[in-house]
Structure 1
Amino acid sequence: MLNLLHLDLRGNQLKSLPPTIARLVRLEELDLSSNGLSVLPETIGSLVNLKKLNVETNDIEEIPHAIGRCTSLVELRADYNRLKALPEAVGKLGCLEILTVRYNNIKQLPTTMASLSSLKELDISFNELESVPESLCFATTLVKINISNNFADLRSLPRSIGNLEMLEELDMSNNQIRILPESFRMLTQLRVLKVEGNPLEVPPRTVIEKGPQEIVQYMANLAAQKDVKTQTVKQKKSWAQICFFSKSNKRKRSGGLC
């Protein structure tokens, strides 16, 4: 029993886990889905070789800080619970590739997610997310993100989303997002983009209908136009300064005081 690698306890109406589970230090996969768990014990941190943890469809309100000791964890599934937040310790899971927390009550993500250097897939749809932290954009291995259906609270994407240059799929449907950030132009690998149900103004609907890469190109053109305008304004200011100093010098030479 102590040498167990896989343990499937799904659908057993469990209300709690015995303390002895901490002895299963060689365990690599643990499925606790579809039970009646309200608490995930701190002893979960003893499972240092755990690679897959599934706690979907329970009544869990909090993932313990001790999860940060499960540094071998590759996959964490906690959909359909009552989570209000994720612990800062999540940032210690350097091997984590898949994190799904759909259908919870999460309002914000921890800034430590920037340290998830292996994260490829993040699903935080059907929550109460108010914003996506800029720090998430440092998890540059992300390939797939789902932030859809956050109950009218999510109004913008992080300005640095363009850092996620490996991103291929983004579902941001059914939120309150009006404008895509300028850095969106850098998402050149984007193949799937779902934006329906947002009051998007930039880019316009005619561009959105043409697909992800047309949107990326539109944002690139928009940024280029902005750069040209900025340069023009700078040049005008420079000429104005030159003219001002030139007139000023002439007045000085002619003995003028002004």
Structure 2
Amino acid sequence: MYPVQSPVIKFLIWVLQKIDNFLSRNRDCVQNRIKLVKKNRFTELNLRDCHLNKIPPEIFDLVWLQELDLSGNRITEIPEAIASLYNLTKLNLSKNQISKIPDSIYYLIHLQDLDLSQNQLTKFPKGITWMLSIEQLNLSGNYLVEVPKSIAYMSNLCQLYLSKNQFTWFPEPVTRLSCLSELYLHNNQIQKIPDSINRLSKLTKLNLSCNHIKEFPESLTRLANLVDLNLDNNQIRKIDNSIHRLYRLCQLKLSGNQLEELPESFALLPTTELSIEGNILKKPPQAEAEKGMDSIRNFFRTNQTEE
């Protein structure tokens, strides 16, 4: 005679059966997608959010693939066999549990877009710095503390995402990236912007919000192509008087700092979108500054007339 099962035990068995059925269907779905790509020689494969613990080995036979999305899984390791996918131009491995990148990734010689955000990387993968074809690299949401000097070899890199890591100093090797147009370093613990930032002559977007920056250096005003600058939520007390050199600057965010006054040259900026809330401005008054650039220009114009 079998023992009578309690309602709780019955419920748990039911839940486990449901989970097993779901995982079984999920495995079948993954295999069916791979078979479909193989049969039709499709160049894109999307296995996002498929509850994968590892990369299915069958993928490495799809050597013609150009785009592969494995984001939102539980992958912990990238096999050396990744090198077989040498035709890839876009690889998304974000939102996994990857802690190390094999050097063999270097063999993906056509890769232009690599997303490794929201993983568990503690060191910048040096193998990536040998990949000269990469134009967009996303390493946000990891545990990086420094960037190797060899990143300078990435001569085609245009967009670099390093937000939400553990940088306490601005990663200066980045300033050797001659083609860089967009740099995202928000939500770190950076304390200072180095003078060498003026090397980034092609930079159009710079996000350094949510750090511990105290100074707005003169070197920042030498980025003549800058269109969008975000310095929200830092500890900046003063804006350098040469800020008017940023003659292409359209968007400027300075909210949540400790600014007490703006230089008169601030009124010469072409900025159309200004965020300056949460400061302690006296010149111009905080309330006037929050009305926007026209109000700031009018304040300085009126002051000059009175003088």
TM-score range, shorter chain: 0.7 to 0.9
User: What is the deviation of 1:209?
Assistant: 4.3
User: Is residue 2:249 matched to residue 1:173?
Assistant: no
Give 2:128's aligned amino acid: I
Match of 2:300 in 1: 219
93, 104, 109: which one aligns with 1:20: 104
User: What is the deviation of 1:76?
Assistant: 0.8
CA contact (8 A) 2:275 2:290 kept: no
Give 2:260's aligned amino acid: R
User: Is residue 2:113 matched to residue 1:32?
Assistant: no
Identity of aligned residues (%): 35
230, 233, 243: which one aligns with 1:149: 233
| Structure with more contact order per residue of length (Cα contacts < 8 Å, sep ≥ 6) | 1
- The structure-2 alpha-carbon separation of the partners of 1:47 and 1:198, relative to structure 1 and needing over 3 Å to count, comes to same
Q: Distance in 1 between matches of 2:290 and 2:163?
A: 31
User: What is the deviation of 1:148?
Assistant: 0.8
Match of 1:204 in 2: 285
Q: Distance in 2 between matches of 1:88 and 1:60?
A: 14
- The structure-2 alpha-carbon separation of the partners of 1:63 and 1:216, relative to structure 1 and needing over 3 Å to count, comes to farther
Match of 1:6 in 2: 90
**Secondary structure of 1:114 counterpart:** helix
CA contact (8 A) 2:116 2:139 kept: yes
CA contact (8 A) 2:102 2:127 kept: no
User: What is the count of residue pairs matched by the alignment?
Assistant: 223
Give 1:11's aligned amino acid: K
- The structure-2 alpha-carbon separation of the partners of 1:81 and 1:192, relative to structure 1 and needing over 3 Å to count, comes to same
| Runs of at least 5 residues in structure 2 that lack an aligned partner in the other structure | 1-84
User: What is the deviation of 1:182?
Assistant: 2.4
Misfit runs of 4+, over 6 Å: none
The 5 Å alignment of 1:158-197 reads 158-187=240-269, 189-197=270-278
Q: Distance in 1 between matches of 2:209 and 2:264?
A: 24
63, 66, 78: which one aligns with 2:162: 78
| Runs of at least 5 residues in structure 1 that lack an aligned partner in the other structure | 230-258
- The structure-2 alpha-carbon separation of the partners of 1:210 and 1:9, relative to structure 1 and needing over 3 Å to count, comes to closer
